Amino acid sequence: MTLDFFAFNSPFFLSWPTSLLGGGLLIGYFVLWLMGVVGSRADWRRFTGASWLVFFVLLLAAGLLAQLFVIRFPADIFSPPNLPIEPQRPGLPIFSFLPAFLAAGWLGIGPALMAGLITGMVRAGWETYSFLTPFEFAFVAAVFAWCVRQDYSGPLARLLRQPISAATVAASILVFSLPLSYSASVGSLDWAAVDYVLSVVWAALPVFIGQIMIGGLLAQIAKRLWPTHWFRAKGQTPPPWLYSLNRKLLFALVPLFGVGLLVALIANIIIALNVSTELSLRQMERAARITDRDISLFFQTGNSQMLEIANRQDWFQLDSLGQTAGLLQSVRSVPFFRQLMLLNTQMEIVANSDFSLESAATPQLTPEQLSAAQQALDFPQVITVFKPQAAGAPDVDVIFFTPVFARDNRVAQGVLVGVTGLASNPMMRSTFDNLSDIADGAGRGLLLDEDNVVIYHPDQVFVGEQFVVSSASSAFESRLTNDSVYFDPAPDGTRRLVLYYPLPGHAWSAVITIPNRVILQQAFDIASPIFGFLLVAGLVGLAVVSLIARRLSQPASQLAAAAQRISENEKQLVEPVIVNSEDEIGRAGVAFERMRQKLQARLSELNLLLNISKGVSSSLELETALPAILQGALTATQAAGVRIVLPPATGGLVGLKTFQAGPVADLMAALDKGVLELTRTETRMAKIENLARARAVLDVTSVIGRLTALAALPLRQESMFYGTLWVGYDQPHTFTEAETNLLTTLAGQASVAIANVRLFEAAEAERSRLAAIILSNPDAIIVTDRDHRILLLNPAAEGAFELTDQTVIGRTVAEVLPNREVAQFIQEPPPGHTSEFVTASGRILYAVISSIAGSEGEAGRVCVMRDVTHFKELDEMKSEFVATVSHDLRAPLTYMRGYATMLPMVGALNPKQQEFSDKIMLGIEQMTNLIDNLLDLGRIEAGVDLAVEPCRIDEIIYGIVDTRHPVTETKQLTLQVDVPRNLPPVSGDATLLRQAITNLIDNAIKYTPSGGQVKIRAQVDEKYCQVAVTDTGVGIAPSDQARLFEKFFRVNQRGSTSAKGSGLGLSIVKSVVEKHGGKVWLESKLGKGSTFYIEIPRDRQNGIDAQSGV
Over the stretch 785-842, which tens digit does the pLDDT of each residue have?
Answer: 888 898 888 888 888 888 876 678 888 888 888 888 888 888 888 876 788 888 888 8
At residue 553, the pLDDT reads 67
Spatial separation of the C-alpha atoms in residues 465 and 491, rounded to whole Å: 13
At residue 1013, the pLDDT reads 92
Three-class SS of 614-668: HHHHCCCCHHHHHHHHHHHHHHHHCCCEEEEEECCCCCCCCCCEEEEECCCHHHH
Helices H, strands E: what count in the chain? 30, 30
Higher pLDDT, 882 or 625: 625
Tell me what the mean pLDDT of segment 333-359 comes to: 81
Three-class SS of 313-342: CCHHHCCHHHHHHHHHHHHHHCCCCCEEEE
Q: Treating both helix axes as pointing N-terminal to C-terminal, what angle do 516-568 and 584-617 enclose, rounded to 10 degrees?
A: 30
Tell me what the mean pLDDT of segment 283-303 comes to: 88
Least confident of 4-13, 512-521, 845-854: 4-13
At residue 181, the pLDDT reads 78
At residue 735, the pLDDT reads 84
At residue 279, the pLDDT reads 86
At residue 356, the pLDDT reads 54
What band does 258 get if pLDDT is binned at 50, 70 and 90? confident
User: End-to-end alpha-carbon separation of the chain, Å?
Assistant: 95
What band does 1109 get if pLDDT is binned at 50, 70 and 90? very low
Tell me what the mean pLDDT of segment 670-689 comes to: 83
Q: What is the H or E stretch that residue 446 is in? A: strand 444-448
Please report the DSSP string for 121-163 in residue order: HHHIIIII-BTTHHHHHHHHHHHHHHHHH--B-SHHHHHHTSH
Mean model confidence pLDDT for the chain: 80
Q: What is the H or E stretch that residue 966 is in? A: helix 953-971
Whether 34 shows a pLDDT value over 80: the answer reads yes
For 401, phi and psi rounded to 5 degrees? Answer: -115, 125
Q: Residues of the chain with pLDDT > 70: what percent? A: 83
Task: Select, from the ranges 236-245, 261-270, 575-584, the one with the highest average predicted confidence (pLDDT).
Answer: 261-270
At residue 1057, the pLDDT reads 46
Give the three-class secondary structure for 904. helix
At residue 388, the pLDDT reads 56
